[in-house]
Amino acid sequence: MKKNSNDSDSLLVEKVKEGNEGAFNFLMNKYYPRVYASLFSFTKSKEDSEDLAQQTFVKVWQQIQSFRGDSAFFTWVYRIAINLAKNYVASSGYKKQKVNSSIDQLEIDISSNENIESILIHNQSVDDIKDFINTMPESLKTAFTLRESEGKSYEEISIITETPIGTVRSRIFRARESIVDFMKKELINNE
Amino acid sequence: MNDIKEKISALYDGELDHNEIDDLLKIIDKNPNLQEQLSLYGLAGLAVHQDENNIVSIDSGNRENKSIFSNLWFSNGLTAAASILLTLFIINNVDISRMNISEDSTNKIASAINSKEAKDIAERSEEYLIDHILNVINDPNYMNTQETIDLRNVGFRHNVAGGYKYSNGNENFQLRVEKKNLGLKKIRYWKHGKKMIYVVPLSDGRVVTLYGNISVSSARNIAESLTK
């Protein structure tokens, strides 16, 4: 087991370097929401953010051999996203689009599940999720928060909460499942 | 199915036994629902981090609530006076403090600032700072340096149990010292969630980063104490 969160992706990254597409897909699914949300904060455009997120992960796949592990994997991914967005914002196409957007109505194609990402744009939704987390049983909330907010390893959480590692793993999973269920029922369906 | 999902949750955290990973990846690859589940785990985590992701640079002239990254992106040539000073030092190897206002020096400044090389250097130094801040934010261990510094002279005690944090009453923080210059000539600081990030250039050329609940005056005192 990994001893700290810093290298939590290192094994998967090594697998990606060996050409394991499954490992790449896992990392992409894991980080897509964070990359997308970050890009959206710049572009304020759903379509642009999707395009740039896609380009980001194409580059991650193409350049993975150059990732030396000096920083956390996500930091490296984030840098790629930033550079792509930076180039995009500086491009003439972006500026032209900004001018035209005041007169052209953007066509937004809403499919069944794409609001999954967009719910995070609304602060109210984030507040709702946080409120929900606060209603969770203390044991689940503590384990989840120590993991997600503090970046503690399962072993560290086990020591802090004086709980077996297996129980920590189970609590974090149950917390995630509860939050995901809440998001699906209360937020995504109401969009 | 819950057993599979629990394994996904563990792998998400990098805590799954190595010999279980390959089989799990194959199962996920064949099941779009599990892939969506994984992304939703990412969303759940993002919601928790949402406040922290709303990072605001408060040391530039622009006080709008932009994220730190947008602020840094567009600061090149606008707010990055430190970068331009650094550029001048590198391009012309001149001592800014001795530079008189003259036609010659004005031309030097203009040519230095406008040259592509100068812009590249300024941009690189700013990007280095971005890297640094990204590491502070995203890598929980980045600030957990093994080096212990005695800060009792400025009222802060080292608290090993708290993850290499220093504390004094309500103020507590992590500290990291860079031996290389990040191109800074003044304190840069950002708000990250409820915490502050201070990047302080020291007179001996090093740069100290303080991350936590701490005021700017305390940060300055601590930085000054490091060179005494």
Which of B11, B18, B46 comes nearest A37 by C-beta? B46
pLDDT at B78: 23
Task: Tell me the average pLDDT of chain A.
Answer: 76
Condensed to tens digits (0 to 9), the pLDDT of residues B46-82 reads 777 655 444 333 333 333 333 322 222 222 222 233 2
Percent of chain B at pLDDT > 90 equals: 9
pLDDT at B163: 62
Which of A74, A126, A154 comes nearest B15 by C-beta? A154
d(CA A172, CA A16): 26
d(CA B122, CA B131): 14
pLDDT at B100: 31
pLDDT at A14: 93
How close B50 comes to chain A (CA, Å)?
Answer: 7
Percent of chain B at pLDDT > 70 equals: 58
pLDDT at B43: 79
Give the number of C-alpha atoms closer than 13 A to the C-alpha of residue B10, restricted to the C-beta side. 26
d(CA B118, CA B132): 21
pLDDT at B146: 66
Q: Is residue B162 within 8 angstroms of chain A, CB to CB?
A: no
C-alpha triplet B59, B62, B68: angle, nearest 5°: 65
Between the ranges B90-99, B106-115, B158-167, where is the mean pLDDT highest? Answer: B158-167
Give A-chain residues touching B73 at CB under 8 angstroms: 42, 82, 86, 89
Backbone angles phi, psi at A151, to 5 degrees: 70, 25
Q: Which residue has the higher pLDDT, B83 or A182?
A: A182
Q: Which residue has the higher pLDDT, B85 or B180?
A: B180
Q: Is residue B27 within 8 angstroms of chain A, CB to CB?
A: no
Q: Residue B187: which of B5, B24, B60 has the closest Cα?
A: B60
Condensed to tens digits (0 to 9), the pLDDT of residues B8-59 reads 999 999 999 888 999 999 998 888 888 878 888 887 887 776 554 443 333 3
Nearest CA in chain A to B133: A75
What integer is the mean pLDDT of A143-164? Answer: 91
pLDDT at A7: 62
Model ipTM value: 0.80
Nearest CA in chain B to A165: B15
Task: Order the strands of the B195-201 sheet from edge to edge.
Answer: B55-57, B188-192, B195-201, B207-213, B171-178, B165-168, B157-159
Residue B149 host element (H or E): none
Which residues between 100 and 139 in chain A have a beta carbon less than 8 angstroms from any beta carbon of chain B?
A: 113, 116-117, 119-120, 123, 125-126, 129-130, 133
| DSSP character at residue B14 | T
Alpha helices for chain A (secondary structure H): 10-17, 21-43, 46-63, 73-90, 92-100, 115-118, 123-135, 138-148, 154-161, 165-182
Q: Is the CB of residue B165 less than 8 Å from the CB of residue B176?
A: no
The amino acid that residue A21 corresponds to is E
Between the ranges A74-88, A145-159, B97-111, where is the mean pLDDT highest? Answer: A145-159
| Beta pairing partners, B159 | B165
What burial letters (b/e) apply to A21-51, b meaning 16+ CB within 10 Å? ebbbbbbbbbbbbbbbbbbbbbbebbebbbe
pLDDT at B47: 72
- The pTM score is 0.56
pLDDT at A124: 54
